[in-house]
Every structure is written in C-alpha cells, then in structure tokens.
Amino acid sequence: MDLQLLVTIFPQVLLDGILLGFMYALIALGYTMVYGVLEFINFAHSEIFIVGAFVGVEILLGLKSAGLLEAIPWLPVLLLVLVAGMAASGLLAVSIERIAYRPLRHAPRLIPLISAIGVSFFLQDAIRLFESIWRNAFNLVYPTLDVLNRRYDLTSTIDIPLKSVVVIAAALLMLWALWALVNRTKIGTAIRAVAEDQAAASLMGINVNRIISLTFLIGGAMGGAAGVLFGVQYSLVNPYTGFIPGLKAFTAAVLGGIGNIPGAMVGGLVLGLLEAFAASYLSLLTGGAFGAEYKDIFAFSVLILILIFRPKGLLGEVVRERA
Amino acid sequence: MTHAAASIALLALGGAAVWIYPRSILAFLVFQCALLAIYVARVPWWLRAALLAFGLLVMMPVIGGRNGYYLEVATQVCIFAALALGLNIVVGLAGLLDLGYVAFFAVGAYTWAIVGSPHGNVIFGGGFPLPAWMFYVFLLVGLLVAAITGVLLGLPVLRLRGDYLAIVTLGFGEVIRVLANNLDKPINITNGPKGLTPISRPPLPYFVEYNQGFYFLVLLIVIVVILVNRRLEDSHIGRAWEAMREDELAAQAMGVPLVRSKLLAFACGASFAGVMGVVFSAKQIFINPESFTFLESIGVLAMVILGGMGSIPGAVVGATVVTVLNIQVLKGLSLWLNELKNAGTTILGYNLANLPTQLEPAKYERMVFGIILVVMMIVRPQGLFPARRRQRELAHLGEGTPPAAPPS
C-alpha cells in the first residue's frame, strides 16, 4: 500500500467529494421539500433534474450553432441557461403534480409512489423520443466554455477548474436563498403550515393546493439548476443519467433528515465525500480487489444503515409522524 | 350459450389465422385475445377449462411449430407470469412495495448458471458443468437460495415504513446487479459483464420437439405456482398478510406476528423468482447482469398493477399483456417501421425514409411501463381483474350492506 500516494491525492479527492456533495444537496432539496409537505417520495424528481440538464444543453448548442457562444461573456450565458433550466424543471414539476399526483392525494401511501415511478419512466423515454426526433441522438455533450475550464492551482498538487468554483458558489447561494425563503418569509410560513397540518392551514386561509404547487415549483427549479450545473461539471447527459444521482440525492436527503433543508446539505456533503473517498481509496486500500465500481454499493449500504440505526437522519426529521 | 359459441369461434378463428399467416403478429394477437375472451366469457367452468387447456396444450405448441418465435413469446409469458405471481404475494397480498424484485430472479439464475456451466470449474475446481438432469434438483436449490436471500433482505428492513422500504429494496436490487457485474475479481464468481455461457438445458422427453417440451415444462411450473398461490391466499398466513396490508397496527393487535409474516412474504415471493431464475438461465443458455436491471423490476411491478394487486388471474393477465406488448407488439412495430423506411413509403407527403434512425419503437418499453403505472393508478387502481376480496369490499361500500361471509 502506497501511503505517500494516499496522502498526495487526499486534497483532490476532498475537493471532488465536496463538489459531488453540493450536487447531491441541490437535487436532494427537491425530494426534501416535497416530502416535507406531502410525505411522499417524488420519484420523478431525478427526471425533473435531468430535464434541466437537457434544456441547458439545448440552449448552449443553439447558441453555439448561432455563433453566439463565444461572443457573449460566460456569466450571462450561464445565468440564462440556469434560469431556463430552472423554469423548465419547475413548470414540469408543477404539471406532474397536477396530472399524476393531485388526483391521488387521499389514496393509500403506495399509490402515489407507484404513479411517481410511472412518471419517472415515462419521462426518461419521452426525453429520448424528443431528442431522437430533434437531433437523432440522445447522448448529448455540453459545449465547453473555455473560460470555465480554466484551472487555478491551489498548491503544487491540487488545482480547481473555474466551473467547480461556480458550481459550489451557485449551490451555496441557492441553499441559502431557499433556507431564507422557507424560514423568513410569509410564503415560507405558509409552506411550513401546510407541512404541519393541511386542514388547519386551510382553515387559516392558506390555499393548500397553491402552496403544494409552489413547493413543487421551488423543488423542481432547484432540481433544474442542479441539472444545468451537473451538465456544466460532468458534460455528458443522456435521458437515463438522472436516475442514479437522483437515488443518491434521495439517500442524502434521508441521511440529513428528510424535510430538513440544512440536513439536505449536510447529507449531500457526507454522501459526496464518502463516495469520492470510496471511489479513489477502495482499490488502493484493498490492493485492487475492490475497485471504484463498488461506490454505488457504498452509498446504498449507507442508506440502509442510516434507516436502521438512525431513521430520522443526522439532523433529525422535521416532518411529524402521520398516524 | 352465445358466449360459449362466440369463444369457441374466436379460438378457432385465432388458430386458423395464425395457421394461414404464420408471420403475422396480428394473427397471433387474435389468438391471444381468444384465450382471454374464453377466460372472461360466461360459460360453464368445465367448458372454460377444456377450451383453455386445448388452447394452451394443443394449439399453442402447434402454432409454435408453425412459427418458433411464438413459442418463445409463450415461454417468456409463462416466466413473467410466475414472476408476477411471486411479486403479487409481496406487493399485492402483504402490501410491501418491493422495487428490487428482480434481484431474487438474478440469484436463482446465477445459482444454476454457475454450476450448470463450465464456469463452475473456475470456482470449485473440476467436475463442472453438472449433469443436465441436476437442473431439476437446482429448481429446489434456486428456490431455497432465493428464499434465504429474501429473508436476509427482510430482516434489516422490517421496521421501515412503506416508501422507505421501497427505496431500500430498490437499492438492494442495484446492489445485487452491481455485485454480479463486478464479482469477477478477486475471485471470479459471476464472470462480470461478460456473463456466463453455455448453461446446460434440462433433459426432456424425446417425443416432443425441444422448445415445445420446454414450453410444457414452464407451463407446468406456472400451473404449480398458481395452485400454490391459491392455497396461500385463503390460508391462515394469506389472511395474516392481507390483514397486515390493510392495517399493520390492527393486525398486530389481532395477534398477527408481524415479523414472521413479513419475512414469510419476502421468502415466498423470492422463492418463486428463484425457481424462475433457474428456468430462465437454462432457457437463455447465456446470462449476464444486463438481464437483471431495475427496468425488469418495474416491468414485473407494472404487470402486477395492471392486472390488479392481490389478484391471481390479474397477475397472469398483466404478465401476458405487458410481455406481449414488449416483445411482440413494440418489436413488430419497429420491424414494420423499418420496412416502411427501407421501402421509402410516403405518408401524408412525408417520406418515411427521412425518419431519424434513432427512432425505434422497440426501445420505448419504459414509456409503456410508465403509462401503464400512471394511468392505472389514476383511472383504475384496483387493476383489470381486481382481487375477489377487493371486489367484495368495493361492492359493500357501494350498497352499504355488510359483506357476505367469505366462503370457508
């Protein structure tokens, strides 16, 4: 075992883990918000997330073919793409709720979950169908913005590309904004009231349906933003890419305590770090017997262990147990 | 009387259609619809049984002799019907949503694949593949191994609520697939993504053609599975499952041992999948982890939901409809579209040759599953053939009279 190597790559692995963690945190917000209000796992969130990535790649490719990509500075381009991705994903989430979940609101618990799985599968192939007709290809690559790939040396052994800085900054900003929205505004109070008790909230003059739609809008928008950032960071998207990150993000949400916004961030970071370290160190530590392929197993084992030993997550569940 | 005449006529028509047009998928669909029509038609039970037996035991093999592909479809339908029946116990009767069901199928398949192929030598030294007749022994071994896996999965997740349970089982399914994909080192157990081949096929009586014999074997297993299911449903344990599904707390208060019942549900469901896994690996001769993805789990779930959760005929019909859609209708559509494309046919002034090459209907099974799940949940959550008990409950809700005592 090469101890020297382990130490040398440590900071880089840490950085990768943090990056991955923020990505999971952003996706986890969508799960956490919806679960907080409806106590329901929005299985289709992974596709809401990947739709954001696809809207982003379509706009960037459109700009590129119009020759505008190099002409405009990178920040407006990125903002435009982010806003478009957020809008698309948010609206998609709201319409999914309208069509597939609202009619089932008073059905037994498993019914909306099954419907959500159906929506998720439908969307995967719907994206594929659309891209197959539109571009005759459904594995798309984000056009590179040269500025974003510029790397900054932190020390002699680690460097960080600008895009990673952007991803982390955007994630932190959005997490803070969402936290402020939920805890500091009137809308946030309404959301928390609906999560607490729908009937009582509606007696207090809160339009429950509108608040639920709003929750889906916000969660979906966060997912869309995560999708765009995912695309910028990892470049390759296809309609089925969203599924595994979605599952991991859900794990992160449970890990941090579902329904809990700071919890989503903590859970995301812990999971991201665990995974990054598993991916780089597992094969080194076991002498090549187990490689990076086992990182997914790692994530799922964490989920199972958490659910068994600390089902309310690291920071505690905000949702009250429904009888 | 008209029902009887109509169903006989339809069966004859379907058989004749396939005989005359052995390559037409529509003809085979007519035949399949005829079997379904016989099942729902109001005819005396002996006539229904006789017609179904004639259709499945005589006409189907003959049709298979005309076009071997249809026999393949029928065999696949049987395998998935048994899987759907197994999942039906876990999801339909016990109300535990299992999203990683295909893991047990994989366990069964690998159990036979490892010892039934030369790969066994790599692990255990010499003496492999085992003689082909051991297949019949390994039907039982596969059952046991899968049942133990089911209990192992069940133990840690017993305390979880419905939707958490679903996610954990999903994770478990993925774990099994990742293991199958990567256990080619440090010890080569599964041979990784390359898969295992050639897997021995069971010896069958010589007087039938091999594929027909295999069809009979699978059909026999499905019939056994159906019988076991029916006995389970009205047994002590079956009622405990249903009580647990309706209200866990109340069931516990009435003396249902929750832990034992849940574990039994997992073990029973898993054991069917294990047996079918053994059969599947023998049928395919080659297996690799690609056959055991999450997509398959959801496919089986879609079958159970479509037919009606907790309903035995529902699970069989659901399996048939979904499998036929998948491997017959969508594939047929793909072929047809390709033919039209190659011929350069024009529809409404649009030349089909310009269609994007990536557009292949056969690749859109997820969409089919998705639509089935969403639409069924909204429009008809009880399924196409609801369970009898559900039906009685619903009828009772409508009339406001107490339900009739269940037949003892």
**Rounded CA separation B177/B159 (Å):** 25
Instruction: Give pLDDT, residue A135.
Output: 85
Q: Is residue A151 part of a domain?
A: no
Domain boundary among B42, B66, B90: B66
Q: How far is CA B362 from CA B168, B204, B335, B347, B351, in A?
A: 30, 33, 9, 21, 21
Measured between CB atoms, which of A107, A297, A311 is closest to B175? A297
Could you say which DSSP state residue B4 is in? Answer: H
Average pLDDT (B193-222) is: 88
* Residue B404 counted as domain residue: no
Out of A113, A121, A296, the one facing B366 most closely (by C-beta) is: A121
| B177 and B44 inside one domain | no
Task: For residues B389 and B317, state if they share a domain.
Answer: yes
| pLDDT (0 to 100) of residue B405 | 45
Which parts of B158-235 fold into alpha helices (H)? 162-182, 210-233
In a mutagenesis test of the B interface, which of A300, A301, A302, A321 is the best target, namely the one with the most B β-carbons within 10 Å? A300
Determine contact: B175 vs chain A, CB below 8 A.
yes
pLDDT at B395 (0 to 100) = 59
* pLDDT at B163 > cutoff 80: no
- A101-105, A154-158, B239-243, B275-279: the lowest-pLDDT one: A154-158
Answer yes or no: do B22 and B35 share one domain: yes
Give the CATH number, domain containing residue A172: 1.10.3470
Find residue A140's DSSP bridge partners. Answer: A237
| Residue-by-residue DSSP string for A210-257 | HHHHHHHHHHHHHHHHHHHHHHHHH-EE-TTTTHHHHHHHHHHHHHH-
Say if the Cβ atoms of B171 and A247 lie within 8 Å: yes
Domain assignment of residue B395, yes or no: yes
Identity of the residue in A114, A122, A293 whose CB atom sits nearest the CB atom of B305:
A114
Among the ranges given (A207-216, B127-136, B304-313, B392-401), the one the predictor scored with the smallest mean pLDDT = B392-401
Residue in chain B lying closest to A246 (CA): B167
- The two tokens of residue B144 are 């046991």
Count of structural domains within chain B: 2
**Contact present, B127 and B119 (Cβ < 8 Å):** no
Q: Long-range contacts of range B205-214, CB-CB < 8 Å, 24 or more positions apart? A: B208/B61, B209/B65, B211/B64, B211/B68, B211/B71, B211/B72, B211/B75, B212/B61, B212/B64, B212/B65, B212/B71, B214/B75, B214/B283
Q: Is residue B13 part of a domain?
A: yes
Question: What is the per-residue pLDDT for B320?
Answer: 93
CA angle B94, B98, B101 (to 5 degrees): 115
Same domain, yes or no: B88 and B208: yes
**Portion 294-323 of B in contact with A at CB < 8 A:** 294, 298, 301, 305
Q: Which of B160, B178, B305 sits opposite A297 (nearest CB)?
A: B178
Reported confidence tier of residue B119, pLDDT bands at 50, 70, 90? confident
SS3 state at B350 = strand
Interchain pair A118, B370: CB under 8 A: yes
Contact A304 B168 (CB under 8 A): yes
Strands A236-237 and A140-141: antiparallel
B189 has a pLDDT exceeding 90 = no
Residues on chain B touching A42 (C-beta within 8 angstroms): none
ipTM for this prediction: 0.86
Structure tokens at A112: 């909306």
The predicted pLDDT at position B399 comes to: 47
Q: Is the pLDDT of residue B27 over 90?
A: no
Q: Is A111 on the interface with B (CB under 8 A)?
A: yes
> In terms of domains, do B228 and B334 share one?
yes
| pLDDT number for residue A213 | 95
Q: How confident is the model at residue B408 (pLDDT cuts 50, 70, 90)?
A: very low
Instruction: Find, among A242, A249, A215, A259, the residue nearest to A48 by Cα.
Output: A242
CB contact under 8 A, B172 and A300: yes
Instruction: Looking at the structure, tell me whether residues B111 and B150 fall in a common domain.
Output: yes
CA dist., res. B245 & res. B162, Å (int): 10
Residues B62 and B2 in one domain: yes
Minimum Cα–Cα distance from A322: chain B residue: B161
A225/A244 Cα distance (integer angstroms): 17
Question: What average pLDDT score do residues B112-128 get?
Answer: 84
Taking residues B159-180, what's their average pLDDT? Answer: 84
- Within a domain: A265: yes
Q: Is B73 within 8 Å of B327 (Cβ atoms)?
A: yes
CB contact under 8 A, B373 and A121: yes
Residue-wise pLDDT tens digits, A164-204: 888 889 889 988 999 899 889 999 999 999 988 889 999 99
A247 touches chain B (CB under 8 A): yes
SS3 A152: strand
CB B85 within 8 A of CB B315: yes
Q: What is the CATH number of the domain that holds B338?
A: 1.10.3470
Angstroms from B41 CA to nearest CA on chain A: 30
For B343, counting Cβ atoms within 10 Å of its Cβ (0-12 exposed, 13-18 middle, 19+ buried), the class is exposed
b/e string for B96-118 if b means 16 or more Cβ within 10 A? bbbbbbbbbbbbbbbbbbbbbbe
Beta carbons of A110 and B97 less than 8 Å apart:
yes
With respect to residue B346, please indicate whether it lies within any of the assigned structural domains: yes
Task: Give the gap in angstroms from C-alpha B272 to the nearest C-alpha of chain A.
Answer: 23
Asked if residue B245 and residue B110 are part of one domain, the reply reads: yes
Q: Quick check: A316 contacting B, CB < 8 Å?
A: no
Q: Could you tell me if residue A316 is inside a domain?
A: no
Is the Cβ pair B95, A110 closer than 8 Å?
Answer: yes
Residue of B301, B363, B367 with shortest CB distance to A122 = B367
A289 interface with B at CB cutoff 8 Å? yes
Domain boundary residue among B11, B39, B66? B66
Domain that holds residue B201: 67-399
Q: Quick check: A247 and B185 CB within 8 A?
A: no
Cα A167 to Cα A16, A183, A186, A227, A317, distances in angstroms: 12, 24, 29, 11, 27
Q: How far is CA A222 from CA A62, A208, A233, in A?
A: 23, 21, 16
B353 touches chain A (CB under 8 A): no
List the structure tokens of B202: 């069971």
Is B405 within the bounds of a domain?
no
Are residues B126 and B54 part of one domain?
Answer: no
Q: Do B378 and A115 touch (CB under 8 A)?
A: yes
- B31 shares its domain with B76: no
Residue ending a domain, choose from B22, B45, B66: B66
Question: How many Cβ atoms from other residues are within 10 Å of residue B325's Cβ?
Answer: 18
CA distance B180 to A34: 34
The arithmetic mean of pLDDT across residues B203-209, rounded, is 82
Residue B297's pLDDT band (cuts 50, 70, 90): very high
**Gyration radius from chain A CA atoms:** 20
List the single best residue of B248, B365, B366, B382 to mutate versus A (max A Cβ within 10 A). B366
Per-residue pLDDT tens digits for B318-357 = 999 999 988 888 888 888 888 887 777 777 767 777 777 7
CB of A267 closer than 8 Å to CB of A256: yes
Report d(CA B64, CA B310) in Å as an integer: 32
Q: Give the residue ranges of chain A where pLDDT is below 50.
A: 320-323
Is the separation of the CB atoms in A58 and A88 below 8 Å? no
B169 and B49 in one domain?
Answer: no
> How close does chain A come to B225, measured CA to CA in Å?
26
Question: What confidence tier does B101 reach under pLDDT thresholds 50, 70, 90?
Answer: very high
What amino acid occupies position A29? L
Domain count, chain A: 1
State how far the Cα of B276 lies from the Cα of A256, in Å rounded to an integer. 39
Axis-axis angle for helices B236-246, B258-284 (nearest 10):
110
Burial of A111 (0-12, 13-18, 19+ CB in 10 A): buried
Position B164 scores a pLDDT of 80
In a domain? residue B291:
yes
The pLDDT of residue B400 is 44
Please tell me whether residues B77 and B62 are part of one structural domain: no
* A246 shares contact with chain B (CB less than 8 Å): no
- A161: enclosing H helix or E strand: strand A159-161
Query: CA of B365, closest CA in chain A: separation in Å?
Result: 8
pLDDT interval class at B7 (50, 70, 90): confident
pLDDT at B397: 52
Inter-chain touch A107–B185, beta carbons under 8 Å: no
- Answer for the pair B154, B263: CB distance below 8 angstroms, yes or no: yes
Instruction: Give dist(CA B302, CA B308) in Å, integer.
Output: 10
How distant is the Cα of B193 from the closest Cα of chain A, in angstroms? 12
Residues linked to residue A153 through DSSP beta bridges, in sequence order: A159
In this prediction, residue A206 carries a pLDDT of: 92
Closest CA of chain A from B377, distance in Å:
6
- H or E segment at B26? helix B25-40
Query: Å from B28 to nearest chain A CA?
Result: 27
pLDDT mean across residues, chain B: 86
B77/B85 Cα distance (integer angstroms): 12
Q: Nearest CA to A17 among A302, A292, A295, A276?
A: A276
Q: How far is A295 from chain B (nearest CA, A)?
A: 10
pLDDT at A1: 54
Q: How many CA atoms lie within 13 A of A220 on its CB side?
A: 23
CA of A87 to nearest chain B CA: how many angstroms apart?
A: 24
Judged against a pLDDT cut of 50, whether residue B402 lies above it is answered with no
Q: What percent of chain B has pLDDT over 90?
A: 31
B406 within domain boundaries: no
Q: Could you list the residue range(s) of the whole structural domain that residue A21 is in?
A: 3-140+159-309
- How many CB atoms neighbour CB A305 within 10 A? 12
- Chain A residue with the nearest C-alpha to that of B168: A304
